[in-house]
Amino acid sequence: MTRVTETKSAESNTTGTTEIQETPQEQIVVLERRKSKKGKKKYSRGTKGIQRLLLGVSKAGYRVTNSVAEGLDTFVKRTNKSGRKRRDGMVRYALRNASRGVSDGLTELGKAPGEITRRVGTGSVWRVVRVFTPLR
């Protein structure tokens, strides 16, 4: 980068230009990211339980469909791997690969009921149990 400066001397009334060579300097820029705050969900009066239950049901539905996709994905990957490893490996290990795919799918599927039960508060369940308990 070149900077040109003009100088004027008082004695001779002449002006001159001087070129100064500057070396480029590296600048270090530090960027800080702000963490976005997740706000607390807001509900209208009396609708919190229903909305939380619906959220749980929708997440459970997602788990169900995702479990099918995950099981099939595992089956396809293992079948391709078997086919590359051995001649007729795709056919030889079809049952083994299918059982592994079903296993992975059912593992994900087993998490679905937890999505619903996690959304239901224990207070409301306890009130229902107290109403129908004949020991009082």
Report residue 2: phi and psi, to 5°. Answer: -110, 135
Residue with tokens 């070149």: 2
pLDDT per residue as tens digits for the range 14-69: 555 655 566 667 788 887 777 777 888 888 888 888 888 888 889 899 899 999 99
Question: CB neighbours of 1 closer than 8 A, spacing ≥ 6?
Answer: 22, 24
The three-point CA angle 131-135-136 to 5° equals 65
pLDDT per residue as tens digits for the range 73-127: 999 999 999 998 888 888 888 889 999 999 999 888 888 888 888 887 777 777 7
- Distance (Å, rounded) from C-alpha 128 to C-alpha 92? 54
Closest CA to 105 of 79, 70, 77, 75: 70
The three-point CA angle 131-134-136 to 5° equals 85
Q: Are strands 2-8 and 15-21 parallel, antiparallel or unpaired?
A: antiparallel
Question: What DSSP string describes 88-122?
Answer: THHHHTHHHHHHHHHHHHHHHHTTHHHHHHHHS-H
pTM (2 d.p.)? 0.53
- Distance (Å, rounded) from C-alpha 74 to C-alpha 119? 30
CB count in 10 Å sphere of residue 70: 18
